[in-house]
Chains A and B, each alone.
Chain A
Amino acid sequence: MFDNKKDRDDPEIGGAGMADIAFLLLIFFLLVTTIDVDTGIGLQLPPAPEENQEPPPIKERNLLNILVNSQGMVLMDEEPTPVNQVKQKVKTFVTNRGEDPELSDSPDKAIVSIKTDRETPYNVYIDMLDEVMGAYAELRNQAAQAQFGRNYGQLEDDSEQQQSIQDMYPKKISIAEPNQ
């Protein structure tokens, strides 16, 4: 009566579940993988202007006007500039520290003001913006290397070190009101 134990299966581990485990792993990786990560140039727009509000007074020397006109020419303070020289000019302007009376007082007061025409080609605008971002990236990297021996990008996000570099070279980029 009790010796039907002979009918039991051999003590093996069932292999059928293996496929399911593989499936689970496959699905997990499918989910956590982000294909097509969005890359680009980040920018903070100025808040919408309030009614009858005067723009805050800014000294002319602290303002670097960049105009990209409808022919795709870049004018920096009314001076035509090839796109590949924008970076150098922005760096000179930001790091002037009061030497040249035409350029900025200090890096934290320097403002880069960007103006475009309606017919400005988008890719020229992006090339110019890329140069401006590049200038700031290089300045921040220099400062981070000098102070902490690391590049700005290697500093921990939202850390005090990162903040101190940001305070040294705040990225003040203003989008000028378009011409009507």
Chain B
Amino acid sequence: MGHFEKKSAKSDPTISLTAMPDIIFMLLIFFMVTTVLREVTLQVQVDYTRAENIEKIEQKRLVSYIYVGPEKLQGRKVGNTKIQIDDSIIDDVGAVQQLMYDKLREEPRLIVSLRVHDDTEFGIVTDIQEELRDAGTLRINYSTKQEQ
């Protein structure tokens, strides 16, 4: 018995680290699964206007974007003013209402952020606002950059 005791007293105090990569992989996978990355390819050109009195929207998850601007064509040319929601161009303004209504049902605190090209005519924004009112998504935000 004496032999055994002597041996265990002198054994190495290292903790096995072989499981470490597994733990980290598990965490990585957990974050990958729970994160929603929303990357949108812009099909319209949007240059933001600038303003002084702006606020930040911290809760990014509540925000849904509507892009309005001249459609990007091949080369560097731009076409007519179009509306883009998510990844597709909306040709009919009337479709905005249904799309936003569906989003509102998923997220009742929805904020609609309008990202409008700076020299767009306001008429199309008025149309969108009317649609948003009908859909019940009343919190909006005009995206602008901080004035230098």
Interface size bracket, A side: 35 or more
Cβ–Cβ contact A40 & B17, under 8 A: no
Please name the residue on chain B nearest to A118 by beta carbon.
B123
Q: Is B3 an interface residue (CB 8 A)?
A: yes
18 contacts between A and B (CB under 8 A): A14-B14, A24-B24, A39-B146, A40-B51, A40-B54, A41-B51, A41-B142, A42-B55, A42-B111, A42-B140, A45-B138, A46-B138, A118-B121, A119-B122, A122-B116, A122-B119, A130-B51, A130-B53
With beta carbons under 8 angstroms apart, the residue of B27, B133, B141 that contacts A41 is B141
Q: Tell me which residues across on chain B come within 8 A of A127, comparing CB atoms.
A: 49, 51
Q: Is B63 an interface residue (CB 8 A)?
A: yes
| Chain B facing A: main interface SS | mixed
Q: Is A34 an interface residue (CB 8 A)?
A: yes
Cβ–Cβ contact A38 & B113, under 8 A: yes
A92 CB → nearest B CB, Å: 18
With beta carbons under 8 angstroms apart, the residue of A11, A34, A48, A117 that contacts B14 is A11
Interface segment, A15-23, A74-82, A101-109? Answer: A15-23
| Cβ contacts B129-145/A at 8 Å (1 or 0 each) | 11011101111111111
Q: Is A168 an interface residue (CB 8 A)?
A: no
Q: Tell me which residues across on chain A come within 8 A of B116, comparing CB atoms.
A: 122
From 43 to 85 in chain A, residues with beta carbon under 8 angstroms from any chain B beta carbon are 43-48, 68
Given A31-B31, A123-B49, A43 contacting B140 (CB threshold 8 A): yes
With beta carbons under 8 angstroms apart, the residue of A68, A121, A178 that contacts B130 is A178
From 41 to 72 in chain B, residues with beta carbon under 8 angstroms from any chain A beta carbon are 49, 51-58, 60, 63
Q: Is A94 an interface residue (CB 8 A)?
A: no
Cβ–Cβ contact A5 & B31, under 8 A: no
Interface segment, B4-12, B85-93, B102-110? Answer: B4-12
Q: Is A146 an interface residue (CB 8 A)?
A: no
Q: Is B117 an interface residue (CB 8 A)?
A: yes
| Cβ contacts A1-40/B at 8 Å (1 or 0 each) | 0100100111111101100110110011001001001111
Q: Is B35 an interface residue (CB 8 A)?
A: yes
Closest 9 interchain pairs by CB?
Answer: A118-B123, A120-B122, A130-B51, A17-B20, A133-B53, A14-B17, A40-B143, A45-B138, A123-B118
Which chain B residues have a beta carbon within 8 Å of chain A's beta carbons?
Answer: 3-4, 7, 10-14, 17, 20-21, 24, 27-28, 31, 35, 49, 51-58, 60, 63, 111, 113, 116-123, 125-126, 129-130, 132-134, 136-146
Cβ–Cβ contact A134 & B141, under 8 A: no
B2 CB → nearest A CB, Å: 10
From 104 to 162 in chain A, residues with beta carbon under 8 angstroms from any chain B beta carbon are 116-123, 125-127, 129-130, 133-134, 137
Cβ–Cβ contact B14 & A12, under 8 A: yes
Q: Tell me which residues across on chain A come within 8 A of B125, comparing CB atoms.
A: 122, 125
User: Within the assembled complex, what's the spacing in Å between the Cα atoms of A41 and B116?
Assistant: 12
